[in-house]
Chains A and B, each alone.
Chain A
Amino acid sequence: MAEALALRHVSAGYGETVVLEDISLVLSPGESISVIGRNGVGKTTLLATVMGHTTLHHGEVMLGGVSLNRVPVFRRARNGIGWVPQEREIFPSLSVRENLEVAARPGPWTQERVFELFPNLGARLSNMGNQLSGGEQQMLSIARALLTNPSVLLMDEPTEGLAPVIVEALSAVLLRLRGEGALSIVLVEQNSRVALAFSARTVVMDKGRIVYDGESAALGADPDRLAALIGVAE
């Protein structure tokens, strides 16, 4: 069976500036990985490259065995890449329902299912995007990405800036999502505790390169190595 997502020797960045260097990464259908690393090492750029927001200098990005190199952003989304951006990027003038409707495409994820996942959203359907709290905005952002019915979901620091209690709730949702059939998830996360608990496999990035690609448990069990890789002892 074709891999869900594959990056082969990818070098990419913004214009002439190269941020990612020689990145190779393969995700099987249904597999989830966490990507961790210091600030500015290229984690967000990695997701942006998969989404098509950067300049690809070398290599190939493939979804389900099909090259995405020349595929525009909106086609990538339609082909099955969902994106939860770091800034949430809720449409402030649209209601919660409308925020979901503009993204919805047919598939297993329906509004009913996402409301089951995020009951708060179901109760705030008529509220405008800018009337939601940070946690609710993050939930809406994830719900909106799920309603595009992706095969690969890219999540960029979903717990950033949220209160600990919301982080706990969101982590539980992430764990539920991880077990959802053939959905593959790439979770970029600053919070290494959340990241290591989320997936069996973790990728650590440094200076635009992958410096570790292996078991989360092994990394979690070796605080010295973790500290050396990401610079913070947990």
Chain B
Amino acid sequence: MTPPQAGWADHPAALALAGRHRVRVWEPIPWVLALTFYFAFPKHLGFGTELLVTILFAISLDLVLGYAGIVTLGHAAFFGAGAYTVGMLAKHGIWNEPITGLILAAVVAAAVGLGSGLVLLRTHGLTLLMLTLCTMALLEEAANLAHDYTGGFDGLDSLPIAPLFGVFEFNPLYPKTQYLYVLTVLFVCFVFVRTLVYSPFGQSLTGIRENMLRMHAVGAPVRGRLVLCYALSAAIAGVAGGIWAQANAYVNLGTLGLDRAATVLIILVLGGYGRLYGAFIGAVAYMVLSHFLSKIYPTAWQLGLGLLLVVIALFARNGILGIAEAAVRRLRTPHATL
């Protein structure tokens, strides 16, 4: 192999790659806001923790749906796999250290993603959609039947999660530790996903989403890359599930349910998929709207969300972030003509 020549870092391709990974001026904003939330709303850190976990889960879905174009209705299978890994290990006294527990959750969810992806990703369209749904339903029913290990319908509660670094307790009433812990994990996972989608691997995922046949024809091992992407996404969803179980000291069948899978899909459509930050915007919009709409109209609050989703799907297919991007584009090119 030829060693890199002197000045290779100045090569246009290397500069272009570095340019893609460059941190934009506005990118620290969500993280600053998340830290501000910690100090400004100490009584709502439980809500904040739930929000951050949802963002993490939505980012994992964005990787497969937004970048690779894999339409799935069963992503909660991986969230649940991670949650049950943490829950069962802790409840049965096998392992309760939080960080290594999350790594195990990621490994188990990735294994489920890899195994199911190898079979499922041979299909497309409606078949794939149905199979992802079936896989999740199978896992949910398996968790229900394996009552001795999973707690069945009742789930596993009062999980004895060890203090973080042996010092910081997970207090369910004052979830300061949970909030900062989830925020840190979200940041690490986000940096990983961001690096991935801006890498040549990420570019090839976009190519696969836009024209699979063409990617075959330029020599890309399409199925291998889709399976790898699916497994990586499953691992991140597993981390989201695992950290949700740790933060709540609780896991139940809801982590594997259609409700959770559909909600995260709605969040991504709302925020804008294939945009990284769409997960942030969508999760905040969905959860804040849910919160206020349920206060205003407790019996039919989902009607408001449904209407908003219809409007977004009809008139703003790139979600809230897409609307913002279009507005910025229009401002930058005021004299653009068709």
Listed in ascending order, the chain A residues whose CB lies under 8 Å from chain B are 51, 53, 72-75, 77-78, 83, 85, 89, 91-94, 97-98, 101-103, 105, 111, 125, 144-145, 148
Q: Chain A residue with minimal CB distance to B16? A: A97
* Docked pose: A21 CA to B127 CA in angstroms: 34
Q: Which one of B13, B16, B219, B222 contacts A103 once the chains associate, using CB atoms below 8 Å?
A: B219
Task: For the complex formed, measure the closest distance between the CB of B188 and the CB atoms of chain A, giving whole angstroms.
Answer: 26
CB–CB A85/B217 < 8 A: yes
Q: What are some 5 contacts across the A-B interface (CB < 8 A)?
A: A73-B213, A93-B210, A94-B206, A94-B210, A148-B218
Bound Cα distance A51, B216 (Å): 10
Q: A93-B206, A103-B219 are in contact. Are A85 and B13 (CB under 8 A)?
A: no
In the complex, what residues of A have CB within 8 A of residue B222's CB? 74
B203 contacts A77, C-beta separation under 8 Å:
no
Residue numbers in A under 8 Å from B128 (CB-CB): none
Q: Is the CB of B200 within 8 A of A102?
A: yes
Q: How far is the CA of A101 from the CA of B20 in the complex (A)?
A: 13
- Given contact pairs A74-B221, A101-B13, A148-B218, A89 touches B203 in the complex (Cβ within 8 A): no
Given contacts A74-B219, A144-B218, 19 further A-B contacts (CB under 8 A): A72-B216, A73-B213, A74-B220, A74-B222, A77-B216, A85-B217, A89-B213, A91-B211, A91-B214, A97-B13, A97-B16, A101-B13, A101-B203, A102-B203, A102-B204, A102-B218, A105-B219, A145-B218, A148-B218
Q: Is there a chain A Cβ closer than 8 Å to B12's Cβ?
A: yes
Question: A111 to B222, alpha carbons, bound, how many Å?
Answer: 23
Smallest CB–CB gap between B272 and chain A, Å?
13
The contact of B219 among A89, A98, A125, A148, by CB within 8 Å, is A148
Cα A97 to Cα B12 in complex, Å, equals: 10
- Asked if B203 and A85 sit within 8 Å, CB to CB, the answer is no
* Cβ contact within 8 Å between A91 and B221: no
Asked whether B219 lies within 8 Å of A111 as measured between CB atoms, the reply is no
Tell me the minimal C-beta distance from B146 to chain A in angstroms.
39
Q: B180 at interface (Cβ–Cβ under 8 A)?
A: no
Determine if B82 is an interface residue (Cβ-Cβ < 8 Å).
no
How far, in whole Å, are A148 and B218 apart by their CA atoms in the complex? 7
B121 to chain A, nearest CB (A): 15
In the bound complex, what is the Cα–Cα distance between A75 and B215 (angstroms)? 11
A111 touches B218 (CB 8 A): no
**How many B residues touch A, CB cutoff 8 Å?**
20
Which residues of the other chain, A, contact B12 by a CB distance below 8 angstroms? 111
In this assembly, does B74 line the interface, its C-beta being within 8 Å of a C-beta of chain A? Answer: no
Output the least CB separation between B271 and chain A (Å).
18
Chain B CB count within 10 A is highest, among A74, A75, A92, for A74
**B203→A98 contact, CB < 8 A:** yes
> Is B117 on the interface with A (CB-CB < 8 A)?
no
Query: CA–CA, A72 to B223, complex, Å?
Result: 11
**In angstroms, how far is the closest chain A Cβ from the Cβ of B210?**
5
| Cβ of B113 under 8 Å from chain A | no
Interface centre among B200, B203, B206 (most CB of A within 10 A): B203
The 8 Å CB contact of A92, one of B16, B203, B210, is B210
**Known contacts A93-B206, A94-B203, A102-B207; A73/B216 CB under 8 A:** yes
Q: B216: which A residues are within 8 A, CB to CB?
A: 72-74, 77
> Is A101 a contact partner of B200 (Cβ separation < 8 A)?
yes
Which residue of A is nearest B221, CB measured? A74
Closest 3 CB pairs of A and B: A77-B219, A103-B218, A73-B216
User: In the assembled complex, which residues on chain B have CB atoms less than 8 Å from the CB atom of A125?
Assistant: 16
Find out whether the CB atom of A91 lies under 8 angstroms from the CB atom of B13: no
> Chain B contacts of A83 at CB under 8 A?
217
Q: Quick check: B219 and A85 within 8 Å, CB to CB?
A: no
User: Which residues of chain B are near A97, meaning CB under 8 Å?
Assistant: 13, 16
Least CB distance, B190 to chain A, in whole angstroms: 21
* A85→B222 CA distance, assembly (Å): 18
In whole angstroms, what is the CA distance A111 to B15 when docked? 14
Q: How far is the CB of A20 from chain B (nearest CB, A)?
A: 19
Complex contact B211–A78 (CB within 8 A): no
